[in-house]
Structure 1
């Protein structure tokens, strides 16, 4: 293999640039040409493809977002769109592709492999919802962003003796909510993987209030529902002054943590190695601090699972 491509797709996550850098420099180290595909699968279909050099990825390891940009591309779900992408890859003489992104990006990589084009997936998403890896690129940075925000909100909650409901991202996965809620001592953590009863939340708030507690933090994963509605219900039923903060896209940005930079570098390098070994239709990840790879079909078939022991611990510590 003498020429490979790399693209980022879907929602951006801190550490994507570090992964791009690793792919480019690892490939060049092995005398392989690298072509950057801009704006994800949209750029692949439109032929927005440019050769990258060592200097192309200088000074990006510490930057959030993605230098290759990203885009959602419903057209790539069609056979016509996929074949157009393969045609452009062949036009540029690209023999293998590295795709950095989440679940939707993996499905695009799966389709390309099905059309006979060697593709390797790298898990880049703040949601931490890709099976086969303990952590995805961007999760640690997003988590720390949320924790810093909750720390600041708690100061205000304490000063004004209020209950705060904080809605965090994660799509249908509750990892950001669970980890940040546990790290910040939230009284209740609502995640889509576990059913919750509003009566239980209200009971926890009442117990705390009866023993003299005058402020509380409730973390809600967006996949559960609206934090605004939950906050309104708490205020109406408990007659407690309640405020809601929806953290939104601030969670996606920012300089990646050391953990995300190192993870991205390791996964990017391994993706190139797999292409050199003749692999296709694989995804890389990390398990027990060891870099692993598995069939992308298997990864997409596995369900995302939340850490039940952490859920239990959070409940025990928030009595």
Structure 2
């Protein structure tokens, strides 16, 4: 393995820069030529390759976003688009590719592996929606960003004795809402995996009022409904005019936590070492605080189990 490349694809996640840094520094350490591909698979098709060295990734480990930029590519989903990408890599002497992103990015890596490019995937997505790994890069930072917002919102909610609906990201996986809700003391948490009925929310609102509670935080994962509609239902069923806060893209930004920086660094080095062993079609993950790897196809076919125990904790602690 003489030359490898690295790209970030899909939604950005805090810690991607730490992963890029780890890949580049590991390549330099093992005397492998390294190039960066800007704007993901879209940039690859256009030949947007840049030479990288140890100094290129200096002073980025603590920064959010991705220095390589990211984009989604409809063209890459076509056979013709993937052929262009393959030819660009071959023309530039790239033998191995590290892809940092989510399931869509991994599917792209899988296709390139089938065409003869050694590929390794690193999980970078704030949703934590990849079943094979306990944590994805960016998830911990996103939870802490939401938690900081919840703390501030609770202050004003208590002052005005209001209920507040906080909508967070999580279209198919409610991990951000679940973890931030538990850590932030939310009274009601609504997830794609566990829908909480309006009657239950109204009951909790009533119980809270009866014991003198000054606020009521409702965490809503975006895949569970629309905050404004829930607001109308709460007004109709419980007679409470709840406020709505949609956190949006603030959850994607910010400096990564130490946890995200550390796992990104470990995964980046591991990805390069796998390429050195001529491995391909693999993804790197973390389980029981240990880095491991497995087949991309197998990883993408896994179903993410819902943490019923953690959800039960939120019910117990919100009485």
Question: Following TM superposition, by how much is the alpha carbon of 1:211 offset from its aligned partner in structure 2, in angstroms?
Answer: 2.3
Partner of 1:90: 90
Question: Following TM superposition, by how much is the alpha carbon of 1:44 offset from its aligned partner in structure 2, in angstroms?
Answer: 0.6
Question: Following TM superposition, by how much is the alpha carbon of 1:53 offset from its aligned partner in structure 2, in angstroms?
Answer: 1.0
| Stretch of structure 1 that moved more, 248-257 or 234-243 | 234-243
- Trace 1:224-303 onto structure 2 (pairs within 5 A): 224-303=224-303
Question: Following TM superposition, by how much is the alpha carbon of 1:131 offset from its aligned partner in structure 2, in angstroms?
Answer: 1.7
Question: Following TM superposition, by how much is the alpha carbon of 1:100 offset from its aligned partner in structure 2, in angstroms?
Answer: 0.1
Partner of 2:309: 309
Question: Following TM superposition, by how much is the alpha carbon of 1:51 offset from its aligned partner in structure 2, in angstroms?
Answer: 1.1
User: Is the CA contact (8 Å cut-off) linking 1:34 and 1:53 kept in structure 2?
Assistant: yes
Q: Equivalents in 1 of 2:235, 2:184: separation in Å?
A: 22
User: Is the CA contact (8 Å cut-off) linking 2:24 and 2:57 kept in structure 1?
Assistant: yes
- Trace 1:67-86 onto structure 2 (pairs within 5 A): 67-86=67-86
Partner of 1:171: 171
Q: Equivalents in 2 of 1:240, 1:214: separation in Å?
A: 13
| Stretch of structure 1 that moved more, 157-166 or 236-245 | 236-245
**Secondary structure at the counterpart of residue 127 of structure 1:** coil
User: Is the CA contact (8 Å cut-off) linking 1:98 and 1:120 kept in structure 2?
Assistant: yes
- Trace 1:17-32 onto structure 2 (pairs within 5 A): 17-32=17-32
- Trace 1:1-319 onto structure 2 (pairs within 5 A): 1-319=1-319
Deviations 1:155-208 (A, max 9, x none): 000000000000001221100000000001111101101233211111111121
Q: Which runs of 5+ in 2 are unaligned?
A: none
Deviations 1:86-130 (A, max 9, x none): 000001000000000011111111111111211000000000011
Q: Equivalents in 2 of 1:162, 1:73: separation in Å?
A: 43
Q: Equivalents in 1 of 2:195, 2:239: separation in Å?
A: 24
User: Is the CA contact (8 Å cut-off) linking 2:166 and 2:247 kept in structure 1?
Assistant: yes
User: Is the CA contact (8 Å cut-off) linking 1:44 and 1:88 kept in structure 2?
Assistant: yes
User: Is the CA contact (8 Å cut-off) linking 2:231 and 2:241 kept in structure 1?
Assistant: no
Question: Following TM superposition, by how much is the alpha carbon of 1:55 offset from its aligned partner in structure 2, in angstroms?
Answer: 0.8
**Secondary structure at the counterpart of residue 7 of structure 1:** strand
Question: Following TM superposition, by how much is the alpha carbon of 1:32 offset from its aligned partner in structure 2, in angstroms?
Answer: 0.1
Q: Equivalents in 1 of 2:255, 2:202: separation in Å?
A: 38
Residue correspondences, number: 319
Segments of 4+ in structure 1 off by > 6 A?
Answer: none
Q: Equivalents in 1 of 2:201, 2:4: separation in Å?
A: 52
Q: Could you state the TM-score of these two structures normalised by the residue count of structure 1? A: 0.98
User: Is the CA contact (8 Å cut-off) linking 1:174 and 1:306 kept in structure 2?
Assistant: no
Q: Equivalents in 2 of 1:225, 1:63: separation in Å?
A: 32
User: Is the CA contact (8 Å cut-off) linking 2:82 and 2:112 kept in structure 1?
Assistant: yes
Q: Equivalents in 1 of 2:308, 2:251: separation in Å?
A: 24
Q: Equivalents in 2 of 1:40, 1:197: separation in Å?
A: 40
Q: Which runs of 5+ in 1 are unaligned?
A: none
User: Is the CA contact (8 Å cut-off) linking 2:11 and 2:101 kept in structure 1?
Assistant: yes
Q: Equivalents in 2 of 1:50, 1:272: separation in Å?
A: 18
